[in-house]
């Protein structure tokens, strides 16, 4: 019984198919969707430019294990052509012209991604963009009804955001163990990051947090422990009551990573903030203060855009 109640609550808090859809919810989703579309186009265009300098596969990823990505290298026009096709598919999906457009864009974006990051180290900066596009594609494929498609997309996005952070904590435990939070590890990573910065810019100046961390093992351990437990309890993003508080803690973790390591996952942070905070409630409260005529027009606009 307890497990059944927990499962029902989880499904209600993530998807809520039976709940009435509000103007604020539609507005937030469409803004979120627009950001995913624009940022995906930005990334595939940048990857297309970077592919000109790649000549061979060092470590294949994803579809790169099964499909030859070498035609994307060097002076090949395929990266630019692929980026253009992706942009067209994304715009068709956003305009609700085709339910299959996002799925096609997802596959081609993955192809561009595995071609770009075939040299041994993959970037995590676009991971939340890819997850969001995947769930937008799945929602469109599964449901003709736009409300259910939106709820599937946003619920799945929150689920995988939480699962992704939590799996990162488990990976640390599996690979290193509980002593991963030892401040000595942060000293090592700051030193490695200083080498990267020297290679890129020829200089490295420690910030306040980095200076404090390298002077105090206890402070460095506290920083790592905070980040670890933030990831470990990220599954609380799945529940409405705890979602904004956990999102705030995770954003604080990202700011800490930026201060300690000079690594900023700006897109991940922006998508997390858009998906997890109750913006729809704030919008609905604002609309409720308008007179009925203006409120009706906004709701009609949301129906058309949705």
- Predicted local confidence at residue 116, as pLDDT: 93
Task: Using alpha carbons, list the distances in angstroms from residue 83 to 56, 132, 187.
Answer: 20, 18, 40
Question: Could you tell me which residues come within 8 angstroms of residue 7 by beta carbon, excluding any fewer than 6 positions away?
Answer: none
Tokens of 48: 């297309």
Structure tokens at 184: 């000595």
User: How large a percentage of the chain has pLDDT more than 70?
Assistant: 92
28-41 pLDDT, tens digit per residue, is 999 999 999 999 99
Per-residue pLDDT reduced to its tens digit, 277-303 = 999 999 888 877 766 666 666 666 666
CA–CA dist 161, 132 (Å, integer): 9
Question: Is a pLDDT exceeding 70 seen at residue 13?
Answer: yes
């Amino acid at each position: 019984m307890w497990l059944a109640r927990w499962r029902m609550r989880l499904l209600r808090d993530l998807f809520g198919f039976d709940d009435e859809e509000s103007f604020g919810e539609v507005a937030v989703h469409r803004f979120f969707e627009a950001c995913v579309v624009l940022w995906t186009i930005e990334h595939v265009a940048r990857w297309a430019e970077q592919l000109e300098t790649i000549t061979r596969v060092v470590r294949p990823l994803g579809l790169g294990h099964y499909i030859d990505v070498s035609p994307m290298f060097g002076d090949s026009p395929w990266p630019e052509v692929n980026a253009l096709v992706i942009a067209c598919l994304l715009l068709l999906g956003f305009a609700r012209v085709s339910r299959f457009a996002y799925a096609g864009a997802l596959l081609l974006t993955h192809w561009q991604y595995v071609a770009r990051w075939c040299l041994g180290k993959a970037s995590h900066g676009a991971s939340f963009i890819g997850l969001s596009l995947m769930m937008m594609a799945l929602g469109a494929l599964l449901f003709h009804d736009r409300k259910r498609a939106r709820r599937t997309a946003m619920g799945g996005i929150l689920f995988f955001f939480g699962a992704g952070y939590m799996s990162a904590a488990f990976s640390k435990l599996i690979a290193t163990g509980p002593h991963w939070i030892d401040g000595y590890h942060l000293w090592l990573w700051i030193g490695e990051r200083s080498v990267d910065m020297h290679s890129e810019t020829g200089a490295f100046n420690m910030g306040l947090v980095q200076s404090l961390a390298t002077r105090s093992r206890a402070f460095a351990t506290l920083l790592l422990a905070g980040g670890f437990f933030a990831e470990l309890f990220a599954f609380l993003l799945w529940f409405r009551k705890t979602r904004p508080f956990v999102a705030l803690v995770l954003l604080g973790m990202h700011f800490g990573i930026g201060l300690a390591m000079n690594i900023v996952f700006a897109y991940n942070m922006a998508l997390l903030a858009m998906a997890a905070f109750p913006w729809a409630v704030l919008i609905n409260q604002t609309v409720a203060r308008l007179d009925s005529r203006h409120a009706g027009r906004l709701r009609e606009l949301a129906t058309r855009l949705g």
